[in-house]
Amino acid sequence: MRKAALALLVLALAACGGSGGEDTHVSLMLDWTPNPDHVGLYYARDTGLFRGDGLDVAIRAPSDPAAPLKLVAAGRSDLAVSYEPEVFFAAAKKLPVVAVASVIGQPLNSFMSIDPAIHRLADLKGRSVGITGVPADYAALESAGLRDDVKVVNVGYSLLPALLSHKVDAVLGAYRNVEGVELEQRGFHPTVVPLHRAGVPWYDELVLVANAERLRSSPSYARMVGKFVDAFLTGTFEAYGHADRSLEILAKVTASKPSFLAASTKATLPLLGRGCVTTGEWARFGAWMFDHGLLKKRVPTSDVVTTRFLGTHCQKRAGV
């Protein structure tokens, strides 16, 4: 009997990722190349938080930015980092993906100008605005009340060159913790207006995404996601409180110049989310997407986001 009980105990520890079992391999696909937005993930990996929960996490950057959600939907990546609007688009295409936590819990996408005469959105009327050309740009211009009052110039993803060469008076699509920081390092004092201050509902810029079908059908996958979210949120919380350690970790995985990485990391840490995803905010943003023609049909909030893995983290991480 004692031998049988001991065997059961060993099996239980292994199933829980305890000291007697092998770590569960987890593949995570980023939205883009490693950068300060991902600091919570790398902090959790490099400080052993994932390992402590029995997870062996492999973090990869995509060769195609459109690939992460498709890979998760196909079961070829366990998790991915993506954007809230992209999760809605994926759900509209019936891809089985769902957001389980926020990575950056507020908009980074912004209107940006280096013209000293431009201090607010109203100052852009009669001026030119460079955009990437995605449909959401036009919806944001409309929400900002600028759609018919500015000259829209499609500059693709050459936002900063278009701004610096004065091809346009402002751009839409720049990130305040990336292009905003670079402009400051070039000696400018940019006017930056995040989208949530320009009429667009609050949304999560980056989210952690899982496979919805696997969450329903595989208890082991759901347990893994729960452990991953818990370690990631702890990593985010600790990264926020340890800026020097965060910078040291990021320096190992990025190719950014040290001065830019330090400034961008400093600008990003206060923007980190608590991991919370608020279904009411997602519902409002989904309604905005539908009202502006970005979605042909309304997408139920339950199809794009779940709070089941957050537990008490949103309360515990209130300082982030």
Into how many domains does the chain fold? 2
The answer to whether residues 157 and 305 belong to one domain is: no
User: Could you say which of 197, 220, 250 is where a domain stops?
Assistant: 197
- What pTM does this model have? 0.90
Give a yes or no: residue 268 inside a domain: yes
The answer to whether residues 176 and 237 belong to one domain is: no
pLDDT of residue 114: 98
Whole-angstrom distance, CA of residue 249 vs CA of residue 11: 35
Element (H, E) at 193: strand 191-194
The answer to whether residues 99 and 217 belong to one domain is: yes
Give a yes or no: residue 6 inside a domain: no
Confidence grade of residue 65 (pLDDT, cut at 50, 70, 90): confident
The answer to whether residues 213 and 304 belong to one domain is: yes
Whole-angstrom distance, CA of residue 92 vs CA of residue 304: 10
Domain that holds residue 119: 109-197
The answer to whether residues 257 and 171 belong to one domain is: no
Q: What CA dihedral angle connects 68, 83, 211 and 240, to 10 degrees?
A: 100
Whole-angstrom distance, CA of residue 320 vs CA of residue 184: 25
Confidence grade of residue 14 (pLDDT, cut at 50, 70, 90): very low
Tokens (6 digits) for 216: 């329903």
Q: What is the pLDDT of residues 229-260, one digit of tens each?
A: 999 999 999 999 999 999 999 999 998 999 99
The answer to whether residues 208 and 310 belong to one domain is: yes
pLDDT of residue 22: 82
Pick from 249, 208, 268: nearest CA to 82? 208
User: Could you say which of 173, 197, 221 is where a domain stops?
Assistant: 197
Distances (CA, A) of 9 to 15, 85, 253: 10, 45, 39
Residue 18, pLDDT > 80, answer no
Residue 4, pLDDT > 50, answer no
Kindly report the CA angle at 190 between 184 and 191, in degrees rounded to 5? Answer: 150
The mean pLDDT value of the chain amounts to 91
Q: What is the pLDDT of residues 127-157, one digit of tens each?
A: 999 999 999 999 999 999 999 999 999 999 9
The answer to whether residues 133 and 227 belong to one domain is: no
Q: What's the CATH number where 33 sits? A: 3.40.190.10
The answer to whether residues 88 and 135 belong to one domain is: no
pLDDT of residue 15: 41
Give a yes or no: residue 4 inside a domain: no
Mean pLDDT of 124-129: 97
The answer to whether residues 136 and 271 belong to one domain is: no
The answer to whether residues 186 and 293 belong to one domain is: no
Whole-angstrom distance, CA of residue 178 vs CA of residue 268: 9
The answer to whether residues 32 and 75 belong to one domain is: yes
pLDDT of residue 297: 97
pLDDT of residue 314: 65
For residue 109, the cross-strand partners are: 175
User: Could you say which of 145, 180, 197 is where a domain stops?
Assistant: 197
